[in-house]
Structure 1
């Protein structure tokens, strides 16, 4: 079958790498893709939100299945666009319909969903510019640190965790009155702070059945010891050493099942990945957030641990037959390290030549922000490459990734040297 992956990051390169191994694949396209996907598929210069251009490509190349990588086109209704078009409605789309995608598109929507279905999460209230003073009062009722979340999509940057009440009030004002995160912060969700260790649970659902994929833990902060600004993720580890069978059972019973059943009860049509951001508080899991796609860089450690023909898994999802699939998981640990551009997550330069990609064959190198230019690979984003390795445990796997990331070089390259420090 002919398959199209939408997106251009490390997640999409990893999915392309996995799908390219399938016996069922005829031809693979990635739009817009990167220098890594270019080696496995045909890159097509189309933006992920250009639905008309995507339609033209799907019809021209007789594409049977579209796998949506990032959240934006899902929140903007790409699945509905296909269903409502006579020429496209038979094409399988992996990713929820627009209403269901609001579970990532709006923090308030997600919180109301959790409340409705008794899914454990932090206590919260939502505020707009109209009730700013009430927001101040709610902050006063909480113990620090204070958690402020822009309601809408803010490219992973709309969450602030602050220790000072005065600063929290000032930031709330800035979000609501000065549009600090644009329209995304027209509504702000203020939450109680949950103290614990975070992890990510990935679920694939066909709208009726579900499969829990390997769990992962990522590292968001730019600085070592989890300090400095938040990023899209500086590294990840799977499986998660502290998530034993008993804890995973709690996640399934208290969170995964109520989530999948809740989507059905509320009639939110969902065929695709659910990324559940969790925190372990004591011995109990609570939900921090939902995303409607795979995480990045977690994809770079989760997908390499799945042994199945991935096209078969996606087909079963599209046809509501996930119950016929038995997931086969590699017992080894996978870890990934993210090499980023100097200055990231603030201002950084693009177009730096990347050297050493042909070395370090013991690791898988997934491209994120890269492009091909005159036969050379150049940087084209903040997060540039993910170096993934297998090992008997996370320390063993990390050793291999650290050894191999040293073979790669570009001007200003930076990576964290302490991934897994807290395990």
Structure 2
């Protein structure tokens, strides 16, 4: 099969890397890709939301399967575009249509969906510019911490959590009245704060059947000890020690099954990934959010643990035949540490030359913000690489990942040195 992966981050590198291992993969294209994907696939300079450009590429290269990595093209309707175009209708595409993508594209929609289909979640109320005064009055009736969420896509930065009621009010005004996150904060959810330990569960759906992929825990904040600004993710671990068989059974019964049943009852033919952000509250799962694609950097610990042929899984998902496939998981632990450009998640520099250590068993280097120019790999984004170590124990996987992070070289590099340490402390109790 000829395959096209859409996207340019660490998630797309990891997905492409796994697809390239399939004996059934003939030609692999990544649009636009990065310096990492260029080493084993053909990068094509086409933007992720340039649907006409993607169409031309699919037809000229006789693409059989398209895998959509990021959320933006899904929310903007790339699957609908394929389904409605006579030239593209026979091409398999993995991802939900625009109606299914509302699970991520609109926090208000997803919250209403959860409440309607009895998926456990935090209570919330939604406010707009017109009801901003009601929102401020509502905050006066609530106890902190206060959680404010922009309704639309905000590149992982549209959530504000604060202990201060006054700051919550200022942030609500900034989001609604000053368009802090642009159109994304035209609606804002004020949500009940959930305390516990977060984790992410990933489901691959064919519209009726599903498989639950390995779970992961990520680290969102820039600073060690989970301090400082939110980022797209500074590291991840899989499996998650506190997500034992009993807890995952609850996730399946209380969260995944009602989500799948809800999609079917709404007439949404959902073929793709459902990323479920969860809070483990005293052993009970509560949904924080849905995303409609794989997480990043969670993909960089989940996909190295998948031993099945992912091309078989992806094709089965697009054809409604996941019940004919089995999922084999490596029991080892995977840990990834993200190296970022100095200054990220605020202003940072691009264009620094990079140097890499030798490849070694159980160590994987996934590129994110990189580009290949004149034979040199240069930094090209805030999150530059996700460096994954895989081993029999969490401790050894952490060591491998952190060693890789220290050995990759570029100017003003930064990474968190405490990835996985909280889970090690939990195990050692």
Same fold (TM over 0.5): yes
d(CA) in 2 for partners of 1:33 and 1:247? 37
d(CA) in 2 for partners of 1:287 and 1:352? 40
d(CA) in 2 for partners of 1:40 and 1:172? 46
d(CA) in 2 for partners of 1:404 and 1:307? 23
Q: After alignment, is 254-263 or 388-397 more displaced?
A: 388-397
Contact 1:360 1:407 in 2 (8 A): no
Q: In structure 1, what is the equivalent of residue 160 of structure 2?
A: 160
Contact 2:357 2:404 in 1 (8 A): no
Q: In structure 1, what is the equivalent of residue 312 of structure 2?
A: 312
Name the count of aligned residue pairs. Answer: 423
Q: Using structure 1 for the length normalisation, give the TM-score.
A: 0.99
Alignment of 1:91-110 (within 5 A): 91-110=91-110
Q: In structure 2, what is the equivalent of residue 397 of structure 1?
A: 397
- Deviation string for 1:47-81 (max 9, x for gaps)? 00000000000000000010000000000000000
d(CA) in 2 for partners of 1:357 and 1:181? 39
Q: In structure 2, what is the equivalent of residue 356 of structure 1?
A: 356
1:289 counterpart SS class: strand
d(CA) in 1 for partners of 2:329 and 2:361? 23
- Deviation string for 1:313-337 (max 9, x for gaps)? 1111111100011100000001100
2:232 counterpart SS class: coil
2:118 counterpart SS class: coil
Shift of 1:239: 0.3
Q: In structure 1, what is the equivalent of residue 139 of structure 2?
A: 139
1:23 counterpart SS class: coil
Q: In structure 2, what is the equivalent of residue 322 of structure 1?
A: 322
Shift of 1:356: 2.3
Contact 1:360 1:404 in 2 (8 A): no
Contact 2:67 2:93 in 1 (8 A): yes
Contact 1:95 1:272 in 2 (8 A): yes
- Deviation string for 1:255-299 (max 9, x for gaps)? 000001110101112100000000011110000000000000000
- Deviation string for 1:318-376 (max 9, x for gaps)? 11100011100000001100000000000000000111244556410000000001111
d(CA) in 1 for partners of 2:224 and 2:272? 34
Shift of 1:134: 1.1
Shift of 1:421: 2.3
Q: In structure 2, what is the equivalent of residue 41 of structure 1?
A: 41
d(CA) in 2 for partners of 1:191 and 1:404? 39
Alignment of 1:1-400 (within 5 A): 1-358=1-358, 362-400=362-400
Q: Using structure 2 for the length normalisation, give the TM-score.
A: 0.98
Distance change (3 Å), C-alpha of 1:296 and 1:244: same
d(CA) in 2 for partners of 1:352 and 1:65? 35
d(CA) in 2 for partners of 1:213 and 1:189? 29
Contact 1:225 1:421 in 2 (8 A): no
d(CA) in 1 for partners of 2:126 and 2:388? 39
Contact 2:5 2:69 in 1 (8 A): yes
Provide structure 1 residue ranges, at least 5 long, that are not aligned to the other structure: none
Shift of 1:392: 1.4
- Deviation string for 1:181-233 (max 9, x for gaps)? 00000000010100111000000000010000000000000000000000000
Contact 1:360 1:405 in 2 (8 A): no
d(CA) in 2 for partners of 1:350 and 1:242? 38
CA RMSD of aligned residues (A): 0.8
Provide structure 2 residue ranges, at least 5 long, that are not aligned to the other structure: 424-429
d(CA) in 1 for partners of 2:164 and 2:68? 40
Shift of 1:20: 0.3
Shift of 1:405: 2.1
Greater than 6 Å deviation, 4+ residue runs? none
d(CA) in 1 for partners of 2:361 and 2:342? 25
Contact 2:362 2:391 in 1 (8 A): no
d(CA) in 1 for partners of 2:407 and 2:346? 25
Q: After alignment, is 200-209 or 358-367 more displaced?
A: 358-367
Contact 2:217 2:238 in 1 (8 A): yes
Shift of 1:162: 0.9
2:422 counterpart SS class: coil
Shift of 1:399: 0.8
